[in-house]
Amino acid sequence: MRSRKHLYVWQQPGWPELTLDYQRAGPALSDARRMQGLIEGKAQAIGLERDGQIAREVMEAEVIATAAIEGEQLDPAAVRSSVMRRLGLASIGPQDRSVDGLVDVINDATSGFETPLDDDRLHRWQSALFPGGTSGIRRIAVGRYRDHEVPMQIVSGPPDRELVHYEAPPSRQVGDEMTRFLNWFARTTPVPGYRPEIDGLARAAIAHLWFESIHPFEDGNGRIGRAIVDMAIAQDHRATVRLCSLSRQLLESRKGYYDALNAAQRGTGDATNWVVWFAQQYSLACERSSQVIDRAIEKARFWADHAKLELNERQRKVLQRLLDDGDGGFLGGLNAEKYTRITGTSKPSATRDLADLVRAGLLWTTGQGKAVRYYVNVPGWNHGVDRDAPGS
């Protein structure tokens, strides 16, 4: 095994003090705050009754992405079903205990942001991630911090040429390390009416770096560390409604995420570069959420424009599906056969329903005969199809 001679951040004389140069980090934090304000303003523009839809979409993205960062691919249908149940929406979709556990953790971190973070809560979060007490086929310690004597290392490469990227504090130090971390997290929690000790986004970034540097559990540290970020941001917002998925952005920048985190863990305790990188990723996450909210506004406007039309439940279900899939999201376009599969109706009924929707201006078509395809008529959406082409 190859290793490098150096001091990790927890071996530095100033640990656990993590410093921040606000002059250098200020521009990135300000940009992140500006993007944050933009999406909050857009969310208010469509009314609080739409936040439930946004919260569902964002939480689904967060659950799928935070698992994918660790190399675990979750069933989107099971995630959607679990999220809907946690948000109090009816769902009869597939169930998966591991998915439910991760959804529970993320939901508890945001909806329970006013409840103090302590050892017991973290232990319950970690237990929820591994309901069978195993990670894959390997048995792991659940519901407690690690206590094994073998060093906790993050490595890559084949077994005979492993490269040690990081080594966490020994297990015997974890209890004291976590006590210091949790005391800091409690002390810096924003209090309404008082100026915070540290910028909320910077606090979320530092909390993640600190927790990941301790790496207190045998497994699940990454997912729990990102749940702590979610909690810190919810505490900063003083709101349970999640408007952006940071984990989805971290997944897209996965290599940069690991590189930035590892650089900070091998550093002197100056967290400035890490906070700047984190703030930049948060800005990008807000930008993506802004697009999600724009789609929600478009969908709300679509239904408002056609509120006086009498539509049957089949038609409403299909239109909502097309709207949810977005511009070009319903691959291959809609036809009568797909309509029957979605609604369970007969082909003659499907043909009549579709013809009515075209006459009402809710759908437009391209192609002829068996090749006819239907697309939802939202201004600005072209679904990747040339509407002026012959046969359209």
Q: What is the pLDDT of residues 215-254, one digit of tens each?
A: 999 999 999 999 999 999 999 988 877 788 899 999 999 9
Which element (helix H / strand E) includes 364? strand 363-366
CATH number, domain 9-296: 1.10.3290.10
Most confident of the ranges 59-68, 136-145, 271-280, 383-392? 271-280
Q: First-to-last CA distance in the chain?
A: 64
Q: How far apart are CA 321 and CA 317, in angstroms?
A: 6
Domain spans in the chain, listed from the N-terminal domain onward:
9-296, 307-376
Tell me whether residue 150 is exposed, middle or buried, using C-beta atoms within 10 angstroms of its C-beta: 0 to 12, 13 to 18, 19 or more: exposed
Q: What is the pLDDT of residues 51-106, one digit of tens each?
A: 567 778 888 999 999 999 999 999 988 998 899 888 777 666 778 899 999 999 99
The two beta strands, 363-366 and 163-167, are unpaired
Rg (CA), the chain: 24
Which pTM does this prediction carry? 0.81
Q: Which amino acid is at 259?
A: D
DSSP letter string, 161-193 = G-EEEEEPPPHHHHHHHHHHHHHHHHHTS--TT
Question: Which range (46-50, 98-102, 178-182) has the least confidence?
Answer: 46-50
CATH number, domain 307-376: 1.10.10.10
Q: How far apart are CA 239 and CA 41, in angstroms?
A: 14
Average pLDDT, the chain: 90
